[in-house]
Structure 1
């Protein structure tokens, strides 16, 4: 029997995802929970596990395609109701992390991927009545015949048209290729993706269109892919989400920004000592680690900066916990994952959490849940050699702190001019939630801790 897998809602009501790559091909035999694809939502890259055990009969979408939630993306041939169930086709003893054993008469859900999972049919009720899979409230489609991609034919009463599949036609359109000029190497002269790619003279893995100022026509050398004067890239994925969030924030919350330049020489000396300490051996300590700890301490004295303006209920929500967001530049754009309950972490735990958070973000593997629920954020613009800026608030947060580069420069120290290590802090806050006095006191507290870490003893 043929079963189709529809693209699930990968978290927080996201309506679409981009197929980045397939990890399987038509004809491959897959097991339950085997990773079959990598997709990118508006927030993160997610691996999709197979909800069935069986044979791949069709991949309905090409890499680079944006697919709406609920649309079928892959078809499987699995044992019919009278044969083995998907669970019986899965290798014995294999279960995903976090899976629970099924109780008699109860289906077990696996894997647990943001609101959906493959449900293994139990032996307690007839297989044809069991729910095999649920994804965002959409049941899978069961058909009795294989789903085959439609292929254009050449009717006798119309002009001949090149034979190709819809994904190939889309690729050709994105690259500006006229299929009539392409020779098909597939069965019966079918034009394949490789034929289109070879026609433009190189391997292209994404639908990026190059525009030539000389001509829009396609020649045998390709559509101006080499040396074009413009390159157009679709706005999608993380970039699209970030843009929408920043526009919403900039034109909703009244931003105010304050700056404070601090002599952080004592903090940098402390950092050097901690790095040689046995207690911190094996941990990655950076200025960000100590700035993050200073922010968490300062929030205890200035809780208004850890709050949210709730327009619908006309209420100010003050959080008694801190989910600390850290802005991370990734190949796919800016993301701000957050450390849940960061205010309960020791310096060691905070260091470990920051290291894991940034490495995961740069690898594009941040879970959607880690990208939501932040209460205050830090952005480290100093790593790019920048001293100060006016950071834009993350939607739903009252403040964001930008830490600038640490620079050695002349500074007034003990009634003389000395070469000291100096950093500029930039604090943007929502003026509906935070008054100038509150913002100033918070920024001064962070600065005081960094200027003299021993000041923490007077604050806690």
Structure 2
């Protein structure tokens, strides 16, 4: 990796585009050295442990260097691209110059401005307008402005209360949080905003002032060349090694953590879903569902939501630190989806509040987005309960592992025509097997059985959707 030292060069660091992610793989560069970029332009696509995401550059300039090739996994906070914000030709070799006034600090690439969030794959560049940063006020001007604010408050009769308020630097909550995260005392920051308000730029300027003395690189001797790696000792004609990274790596870690943290219990029930299949065909002809995805999964999802409404304690999570059971009064319904990058579980937010057509629309969008690889990290966070449809692969059922942080997951098996005793006679009926895995720390056998029995009863006689909902 190369590091640019020219004062006009900004280093764009790998941001955390999810919650708590530590690394991302560079899938594709959209720019090359010498290209001109503008504020908000997408420069690369990266794959995190949760999704593929496009990264926009936060300033204008000319690309000077790409620090990593495609296919490289980079830690969050590591510089990935250098951009000369002054533009023009590449700087020539010059003799060392006298120390200059520290340049205006670069925007922190890892932060997420409210007006410009990271752009996701397929959604294009953020459309919000961009504005140049205001010039910094001289300290004397800022002090005079603060004094004027204090006098104004005194003249308006605020008295001592105004004086006390002036002791606390003026800043909006997001700016205070930024300063706290960066370890900056707002009392030491020179404000440049209206009425003496401290801005985000002021905080970054304070950070740059602190870091400036530390950024002078000390002479370091060139590292000795590494010894050549030992040859791989496997038959490449008979074996293929696939690096574990991205979504698959995150899934593996989550499943291991879930399996060895939550005591799993799985219960099964086989149910006649003939009436449900007939209702699916009827809904496909209903004008209210025109253009929507209508399939058995839709009614199974609705049946589970009804069962949760009747047994709300199952929609919960275990807080190990607080030793508490957290019962959720909302349902973010996860749907396990197999993608080329691995298994992901996006969820339908507030699924409990949706009627059947709304649920069908949300389910269709979720599946389409997942197949196109456009699922956002936020869509895979804060799930409360999950459905995995293994029946689409012709499998009868399974013992699913809980999605981390959830208390239950329902596996749906293949729907097959089987001999079944119906009204005292053996007849061919549409039959499937459901499996419900749950966290036995907070869901006991009685509660788990009630939920599974309710789902089965609704699918056997879908009219219960009306009476129970």
Q: Structure 1 residue aligned with 2:404, among 381, 392, 395?
A: 395
When Rg is computed on C-alpha atoms for both structures, the one with the higher figure is 2
Aligned to 1:263: 272
Q: Give the distance between the partners of 1:79 and 1:274, measured in 2 at CA.
A: 61
Distance apart, 1:354 and its partner CA: 1.0
Q: Structure 1 residue aligned with 2:116, among 111, 115, 121?
A: 111
Deviations 1:365-400 (A, max 9, x none): 211111111110000000100011100001111100
Q: Give the distance between the partners of 2:335 and 2:64, measured in 1 at CA.
A: 43
Structure 2 vs 1, CA of residues 301 and 134 (structure 1 numbering), >3 Å: closer, same or farther?
farther
Distance apart, 1:121 and its partner CA: 3.2
Tell me whether 1:228 sits opposite 2:237 in the alignment. yes
Deviations 1:122-163 (A, max 9, x none): 335469x9967999x998999xxxxxxxxx9xxxxx9xx9xx
- Which residues in structure 2 correspond to 1:55-204 (within 5 Å)? 55-79=62-86, 109-113=114-118, 120-123=131-134, 125=136
- Which residues in structure 2 correspond to 1:13-28 (within 5 Å)? 13-28=20-35
Q: Give the distance between the partners of 1:45 and 1:266, measured in 2 at CA.
A: 40
Structure 2 vs 1, CA of residues 131 and 396 (structure 1 numbering), >3 Å: closer, same or farther?
closer
Higher helix fraction: Structure 1 or Structure 2? 2
Q: Structure 2 residue aligned with 1:37, among 35, 39, 44?
A: 44
Tell me whether 1:297 sits opposite 2:315 in the alignment. no
Structure 2 vs 1, CA of residues 322 and 314 (structure 1 numbering), >3 Å: closer, same or farther?
same
Structure 2 vs 1, CA of residues 139 and 414 (structure 1 numbering), >3 Å: closer, same or farther?
farther
Structure 2 vs 1, CA of residues 283 and 134 (structure 1 numbering), >3 Å: closer, same or farther?
farther
Higher strand fraction: Structure 1 or Structure 2? 1
Structure 2 vs 1, CA of residues 132 and 34 (structure 1 numbering), >3 Å: closer, same or farther?
farther
Q: Give the distance between the partners of 2:208 and 2:280, measured in 1 at CA.
A: 55
Contact 2:39 2:130 in 1 (8 A): no
Q: Structure 1 residue aligned with 2:422, among 404, 413, 418?
A: 413
Question: Post-superposition, which runs of at least 4 consecutive aligned residues in structure 1 deviate over 3 A?
Answer: 116-121, 123-127, 129-135, 137-142, 210-213
Contact 1:322 1:375 in 2 (8 A): yes
Contact 1:51 1:133 in 2 (8 A): no
Aligned to 1:9: 16
Aligned to 1:440: 449
Structure 2 vs 1, CA of residues 109 and 322 (structure 1 numbering), >3 Å: closer, same or farther?
closer
SS in 2 for 1:427: strand
SS in 1 for 2:240: strand
Aligned to 1:347: 356
Structure 2 vs 1, CA of residues 20 and 234 (structure 1 numbering), >3 Å: closer, same or farther?
same
* TM-score of the aligned structures, taking structure 1 as reference length: 0.73
Would you say how many aligned residue pairs link Structure 1 and Structure 2? 368
Q: Give the distance between the partners of 1:74 and 1:257, measured in 2 at CA.
A: 49
Structure 2 vs 1, CA of residues 38 and 291 (structure 1 numbering), >3 Å: closer, same or farther?
same
Aligned to 1:431: 440
Q: Give the distance between the partners of 2:59 and 2:129, measured in 1 at CA.
A: 7
Distance apart, 1:120 and its partner CA: 4.3
**Any stretches of 5+ residues in structure 1 without a counterpart?**
86-98, 100-107, 143-151, 153-157, 162-168, 177-209, 214-226
Distance apart, 1:113 and its partner CA: 2.6
Contact 2:14 2:77 in 1 (8 A): yes
* TM-score of the aligned structures, taking structure 2 as reference length: 0.71
